[in-house]
């Protein structure tokens, strides 16, 4: 981000320019915030030829003619030249004039109030070398974009004023193509009819022919590119530092200590859910966090003992539903007919049988936002209703919370789950010792998931430091080590380790003990990964050659980015491939070639087995009378040679790191 700032400032510092620069980024990604907080303050503190620079910012949102832009520039300039206004702003520590205040100042200027008899300083008015113009929201103006850029070009080419244009080129392109679409379609249809091309039979659909004619006759996009090439010297892609900006969003809640503590503890969940939304719209994230404040306040006020896992799930759900609705990804009625968590879960189960659009969407929503996040209660009607309608229904809120309290009662949870899902200080003193004893027994007997044992150790180390429990650290460590070994027999591979461990705070004080626990966990987890992939490989490859449709489906969905060939016997692999039909052998070969081109770094660990497979295939072919199948297998072998070259082009150390670690574990 600092490199981007410096590049923009280099343009401002340049002695002579006859071009503008553009900052391009998606709606809501923080471009205006970036201007106001990163660029504008630095420009205001710069001097060129001994003169302080004056940035003049204008939003083009809603502008309906070029005259309005001229008025805006005039108003901004005259206000900045007003001596009394400058004195007031300096004395008050105000850096920018609020839009509301500008309206009053504009009228005051009109009636001659603000100047106090002072004559307008025409020297300042005609000066251009100390001005920096910034035009924002180019794509939201109600004027032809070509006309606006031509207008701006006058300042840039003739007056050499430093000019920055902020826009969303993706939306701009859509706008250029969609303007007066009904009229364009009518004219395109008329022209096709006149040329006798309307009813002729071709392979190209009618919609495509009309669209091509529209682009040929009304090619505004080319006009835009031509004037952009003349006006814009550099285009900078704005990719915000989300962690920095999200931290800024959270600072808005600093005066609410309970809320800010919870949000900061769950920053990773916020960032993860934001990324899963598939947008870069920070404006929607800001609104969703405001929504969550209301939800958090109401839950803490009416149900203060709600466990932490439920609050985390509410946070995910609030952000997810906000993005799905406000980003226009779905219509608002997708959730309307779902009235409870039970109905939501029932739809997830039945979606495998009934594939109507609503059920398919709910399954995709759940898979996306709750991926690797385990929670029994995942749908909150009162939150969905609040986000969708802005109405906080107290009756539905209480109904939802009573169901949660009755079905997820912490007093009925195993001790270790209470430690993991609610703040330990909420456990009554007379229950705490029992929770610790029960948890220790479950860990000792391997009844706890592997990743949860790591989390629990962090708590036990903390409790020992605080003298809340009377145990020796060495003894506890031994119990947890043995418990992890037993748990590994039933636990599953944990893919999102960082996200899981971010749910607990590991202090530096516990770091030495945690390092040993984490090292042991990583060894076991790697073994579980190998076990999982071996099972996956067996499940996928046993479909060859009898269930090829199922093989293609599983391979495309589950194996494209994982080195699945590393985990399957090469001789069995060849036997299965050689028994497949010629057509299927060709298809498998093409799939392997495509995935190697796309994901060679991820797939490189399967290199040794790919070499073995090629060797087995070559041995089988050698000396045999040519046949169609042998020719196809020879082509397959040649393609494997190409794949081997691609895999070997990756970093050797990186490629074989998994094999080396696995070998150490086996030894």
The 10s digit of each residue's pLDDT in 371-410 is: 888 787 899 999 999 999 889 999 999 999 988 887 665 5
Please state, in angstroms and rounded to a whole number, the distance separating the CA atoms of residues 60 and 151.
Answer: 13
Please state, in angstroms and rounded to a whole number, the distance separating the CA atoms of residues 423 and 615.
Answer: 58
How distant, in Å, are the alpha carbons of 29, 41, 87, 102 from that of 76? 26, 17, 16, 8
Per-residue confidence (pLDDT) for residue 636, from 0 to 100: 95
**232 has which bridge partners?**
20
The count of C-alpha atoms lying within 13 angstroms of the C-alpha of 26, restricted to the half-sphere facing its C-beta, is 12
Per-residue confidence (pLDDT) for residue 107, from 0 to 100: 47
| pLDDT class of 317 with cuts at 50, 70, 90 | very high
Q: Quote the radius of gyration of the chain (alpha carbons, Å).
A: 32
Of the two residues 76 and 630, the one the predictor is more confident about is 630
The 10s digit of each residue's pLDDT in 132-176 is: 999 998 888 888 888 888 888 888 887 788 899 998 887 776 665
Among candidate residues 380, 416, 420, 413, the one with its CA nearest the CA of residue 398: 380
Is the torsion defined by CA of 142, 147, 148, 151 positive or negative? negative
Q: Considering the chain, what is the average pLDDT of its residues? A: 80
DSSP 189-232: HHHHHHTT-SS---SS-HHHHHHHHHHHHS-HHHHHHHHHHHHE
Per-residue confidence (pLDDT) for residue 665, from 0 to 100: 40
Structure tokens that stand for 165 in this block: 């244009």
Question: What dihedral do alpha carbons 606, 608, 612, 617 form, nearest 10°?
Answer: 50
- Among 75-84, 96-105, 209-218, 242-251, the minimum mean pLDDT is found in 96-105
- Helix or strand holding residue 140 (H, E): none
CB 307: neighbour CB atoms within 10 A? 20
- Categorise residue 531: left if φ over 0, alpha if ψ from -120 to 50, beta otherwise: alpha
């Amino acid at each position: 981000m600092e490199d981007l700032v410096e590049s923009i400032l280099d343009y401002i510092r340049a002695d002579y320019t006859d071009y503008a620069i553009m900052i391009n980024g998606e709606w809501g990604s923080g471009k205006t915030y970036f201007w106001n907080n990163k660029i504008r303050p630095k420009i205001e503190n710069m001097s060129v030829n001994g003169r302080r620079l004056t940035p003049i910012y204008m939003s083009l949102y809603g502008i309906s003619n070029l005259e309005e832009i001229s008025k805006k520039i005039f108003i901004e300039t005259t206000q900045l030249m007003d001596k009394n206004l400058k004195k007031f702003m300096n004395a008050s520590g105000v850096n920018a004039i609020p839009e509301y205040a500008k309206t009053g100042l504009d009228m005051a200027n009109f009636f001659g109030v603000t100047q106090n008899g002072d004559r307008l300083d025409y020297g300042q008015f005609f000066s251009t070398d100390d001005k920096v113009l910034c035009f924002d929201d180019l794509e939201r103006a109600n004027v032809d974009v070509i006309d606006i850029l031509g207008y701006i070009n006058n300042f840039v080419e003739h007056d050499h004023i430093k000019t920055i244009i902020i826009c969303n080129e993706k939306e701009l392109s859509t706008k250029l193509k969609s303007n007066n679409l009904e009229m364009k379609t009518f004219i395109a249809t008329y022209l096709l009819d006149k040329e006798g091309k309307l009813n002729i039979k071709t392979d190209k659909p009618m919609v495509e022919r009309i669209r091509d004619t529209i682009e040929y006759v009304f090619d505004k996009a080319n006009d835009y590119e031509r004037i952009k090439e003349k006006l814009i010297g550099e285009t900078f892609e704005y990719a915000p530092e989300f962690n920095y900006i999200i931290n800024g969003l959270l600072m808005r809640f600093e005066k609410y200590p309970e809320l800010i503590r919870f949000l900061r503890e769950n920053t990773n969940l916020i960032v993860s859910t934001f990324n899963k939304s598939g947008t870069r719209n920070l404006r929607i994230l800001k609104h969703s966090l405001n929504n969550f404040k209301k939800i958090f306040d109401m839950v803490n006020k009416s149900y203060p003992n709600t466990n932490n896992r439920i609050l985390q799930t509410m946070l995910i759900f609030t952000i997810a539903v906000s993005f799905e609705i406000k980003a226009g990804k779905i219509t608002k009625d997708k959730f309307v007919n779902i009235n409870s968590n039970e109905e939501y879960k029932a739809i997830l189960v039945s979606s495998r049988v009934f594939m109507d659009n609503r059920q398919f969407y709910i399954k995709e929503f759940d898979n996306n936002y709750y991926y690797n996040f385990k929670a029994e209660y995942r749908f909150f009607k009162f939150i969905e209703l609040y986000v969708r309608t802005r109405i906080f229904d107290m009756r539905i809120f209480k109904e939802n919370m009573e169901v949660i309290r009755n079905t997820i009662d912490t007093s009925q949870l195993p001790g270790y789950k209470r430690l993991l899902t609610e703040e330990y200080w909420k456990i009554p003193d007379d229950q705490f010792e029992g929770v610790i004893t029960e948890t220790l027994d479950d860990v000792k007997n391997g009844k706890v998931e592997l990743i949860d044992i790591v989390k629990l150790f962090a708590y036990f180390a903390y409790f020992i430091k605080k003298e809340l429990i009377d145990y020796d650290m060495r003894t506890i460590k031994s119990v947890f080590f043995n418990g992890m070994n037993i748990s590994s027999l039933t636990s599953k591979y944990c893919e999102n380790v960082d996200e899981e461990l971010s749910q607990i705070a590991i202090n530096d004080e516990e770091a030495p003990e945690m390092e040993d626990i984490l090292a042991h966990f990583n060894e076991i987890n790697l073994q579980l990964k190998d076990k999982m992939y071996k099972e996956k490989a067996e499940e996928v490859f046993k479909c060859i050659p009898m269930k090829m449709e199922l093989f293609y489906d599983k391979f495309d969905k589950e194996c494209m980015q994982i080195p699945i060939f590393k985990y399957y016997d090469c001789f069995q692999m060849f036997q299965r491939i050689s028994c497949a039909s010629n057509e299927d052998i060709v298809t498998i070969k093409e799939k392997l070639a495509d995935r190697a081109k796309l994901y060679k770094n991820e797939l490189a660990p399967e290199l040794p087995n790919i070499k073995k497979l090629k060797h087995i295939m070559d041995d089988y072919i050698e000396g045999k009378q040519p046949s169609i199948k042998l020719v196809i297998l020879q082509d397959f072998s040649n393609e494997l040679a190409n794949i081997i070259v691609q895999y070997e082009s990756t970093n050797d150390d990186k490629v074989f790191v998994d094999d080396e670690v696995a070998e150490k574990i086996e030894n």
